[in-house]
Chains A and B, each alone.
Chain A
Amino acid sequence: MSKKIAETKIEAKDLSVYYGAKQALHHISLSLLEREVTAFIGPSGCGKSTFLRSINRMNDLVPTARVTGNLSIDDVNIYDKSVDVVELRKRVGMVFQKSTPFPKSVYDNVAFGPRLNGITDRAELDRIVEESLINAALFNEVKDRLDASAMGLSGGQQQRLCIARAVAVNPSILLMDEPCSALDPISTAKVEELILELKKKYTIVIVTHNMQQAARVSEYTAFFYMGHLVEYDKTRKIFTNPSKKETEDYVTGRFG
C-alpha cells in the first residue's frame, strides 16, 4: 500500500473550533500524511470544511471564530502567536468550491501569487505560469489565450486555473473544498486526474460530497459527523469495512 515511509504533515491535537457560542468542531485529533490525498467526507454542516479552513487559518476571517487546541504543520503550531498568517497561506494553497478566477487575464491570474512574492522578472514569470498551467493540465487549452480574460474560460477550465494559481506559489499543502461540485463529469474527471498527478508533489486534503470521488482519489478518508471525527482510516477500509456504524450508514447512502 504505502510506497514510502509516510511522514505526518499536518497534525491536529484536540482541535476545537467555535463560531460564537456554537461549537463547530469537537476535540479533533488526527494526523495527515505527507504527499497523500486525504478526503474529508460527511453530511453538510458536519465540520469538514471548518477543519479544512483551519489548516490555512481562513477561519480567522470569521469575526466570531475561536480555535482551541493544537494544529501543527511540519511540527509547527500554526495557531502560535508568532506565526505569520500570510506566510502560512502562501505555503498552504486552497481551491474553493466555486471557482474564483480573478477578473484578470489567464496569465495575470497565475502570476498573481508569484508577483505577491516579489517576482517581477518577466521571463521568470513566464516560466512559472507555463509550468503551473502544465501542472494543472490546462496549458494546451489556454496557451493561445493567456492574455484573454479568465472569465471567458469554461467552468472546468476556471477551476483548473484556480489550481494552477494555487500551485504557482509552490505550496507544500493543497486544500480543496469540494473542487468538483460545480463541474460536469468530464471536467470532474480531469480535475481528479490532476489530483492524482499533484499528489506526487503536494499533500492534498479534499472535502467532497461525492463518495465515488473520495474512493477514487484518496488514500485516506476521514468521516466527520456533527462536528466530531467519527472515523479516520485508509479509504479502502472506510468504504469496504468501516468500524463504526455511522460511517457505514453514511457511505452506503442510508443517511446524509
Chain B
Amino acid sequence: MEQATTPASPEQHSFIRKTNNIGERIIERGIRIIGGVAVVLIFLILLFVLREALPLLTGAFSQPKTAHGATTSSAAGDRTLKPEVYNPDVILSEQQAPEEFTPEVYNLDVSVPVTITANTTTTKEPDEGDHITLSNILGTIWQPVSTMPKFGIMPLVIGTAKTTFVAIFIGAPLGILAALYAAFFAPRRLREIMKPMVEILAGFPSVVIGFFCLLYVGSALQSLFGFQYRLNAFVGGIGLAIAVIPIVFTITEDALSAVPKSLLEASLAMGATQWESAYKVMLPAAFPGVFAAVLLGIGRAFGETMIALMATGNAAMVSASIGDPVRTFSATIGAEMGEVIWGSAHYSILFFLGVLLFVVSFTLNAVTELFIKERLAKKLQGG
C-alpha cells in the first residue's frame, strides 16, 4: 500500500488542490453562521430564563426585610430588589380581601417604606412574609397575588401531572393504533389521505382545540360522567390528547414505515396474520421510534399552554381526582406573566416554573435520545 502512493510530479497532483470556488465557500459560511446563530439564540433564551429565575435560586428573595429575619443577606449588594408591597391601610382594614379590591402599590422608593410595611406584615404573621422560602415554594397553596403571597407549586405540579397523564394515556394508544392501522391495514388511498390530514391536525392552532374543549367537550363529559366542575383535569387532558395524537401518530407511523418491508414479508410467510405481523414483529422492531413518539407526546402535553389554559378550569388545587379543575405550569406562566410586577418574587417564580418546564423537556429529550441510541445499538449489533 505504501508503494502505491509514490509521489508523483506536481503537475499530476494539480487535481488534488482545492478548487477556489468562492460561491460555494460563501454558501458554506452562510450555512455555518445561520446554524451558529440558531444555537446561540437557544442558548440565550435559556440564559435569559435562568437569569430571571436566578434571584429565587440564589435565595435573594429570602432576604429578611425586617430586622428580626433570620435568613441570609448575602445577595444584598448585587441587585436592588424591590419587593411588592400592598398599601398598609388596606392590609389593616381588609385582611383577606380579593385581589381585585386590593390596589397594589408599588414602592419605588425602596429604602424607608419597605421597612415599615414589611414590619407591619411580619408583626401580623411572622412565618409567612412575601419572601420566598423553600417551604413556601413546596407549599400546597398557589396564591401569588395576595397580601401574604403563597408560592406553593405543589398544586401546579399535581395539575400538570394529572393533565399530562390523562393526555398521554388517551393520546399514546390512540396515536399508536392509528399509526399501525395506517401503516399496515389501511388501503393505500386512505393512507395517502389519512397521513397528511393527521399531520395538519398537528399544526392545528391549539387555541381552537382549547375553545372546542371549553365549549363542547366540557359539557359533554360533564353530562357523561357527572363531574362536579365542567372544566377539569380530564377535559384538559382530552384537549391535550387531541394535540398529542398527531405527534404520536406521525412519528410512530414514520418509525413503522422505516422498518424493512422484508420483515413483514418474512412474518407473513411464517403464517402470521397481518395483525400478528404488525403487533409482534413490526411494532417491536419500531420500538425506539414509538418510544420517542410517546416521549415527545409527553413533552407536548406537558408544555402545551393554550389548551391547558382554556380547558382545565385553571384552579390551583391539590386533589387526586381527575374531575377537579387544575392549573398547569405552562398555563400559570401564560395567565400570570402578563400582569406580574417586573422583578418581583412572583415574576421570578414564574421564570422558575419556566426553568422547571425546560428541565423536564430537556430530560425527556435526553432520555429519548440516549434510550434510542442504546436500543438501536443493541438491536443492530446484538447485545
Contacts and interface: CB of A to CB of B under 8 A. Distances in A.
Partners in one complex: yes
Given A113-B270, A116-B276, A100 B383 contact: no
A147 to B, nearest CB: 10
A90 B272 CA distance: 8
A31 to B, nearest CB: 23
A54 interface: no
A86 B268 CA distance: 8
A162 to B, nearest CB: 7
Interface residues of B, number: 24
B268 A169 contact: no
A149 B265 contact: no
A contact residues, range: 20 to 34
Contacts, number: 77
Interface stretch (B117-125, B280-288, B357-365): B280-288
A17 B46 CA distance: 63
B262 A100 contact: yes
Given A100-B262, A112-B280, A56 B382 contact: no
Contacts of A93: 269-270
A103 B375 CA distance: 11
Interface string B239-278: 0000000000000000000001011011111111100100
- What is the predominant secondary structure among interface residues of chain B facing chain A? helix
Contacts of A148: 382-383
B271 A153 contact: no
B12 interface: no
A98 B262 contact: yes
Nearest to A112: B270
Interface string A92-106: 011010101011100
Nearest to B383: A149
Interface string A146-177: 00111111000000001001100100000000
Given A116-B270, A116-B272, A166-B270, A58 B265 contact: yes
Given A63-B188, A103-B285, A149 B267 contact: no
Interface string A210-243: 0000000000000000000000000000000000
A102 B285 contact: yes
B32 interface: no
Contacts of B260: 100
A89 B268 contact: yes
B378 interface: yes
B381 interface: yes
A215 B267 CA distance: 30
14 contacts: A56-B269, A58-B269, A61-B268, A94-B269, A100-B260, A103-B284, A112-B270, A116-B272, A116-B276, A117-B271, A150-B382, A151-B381, A152-B382, A166-B269
Interface of B: 188, 260, 262-263, 265-273, 276, 280-281, 284-285, 378-383
Given A151-B382, A169-B271, 16 more contacts: A58-B269, A61-B268, A86-B273, A91-B271, A93-B270, A96-B262, A96-B266, A100-B265, A102-B266, A112-B270, A112-B280, A113-B271, A116-B271, A149-B379, A149-B383, A151-B379
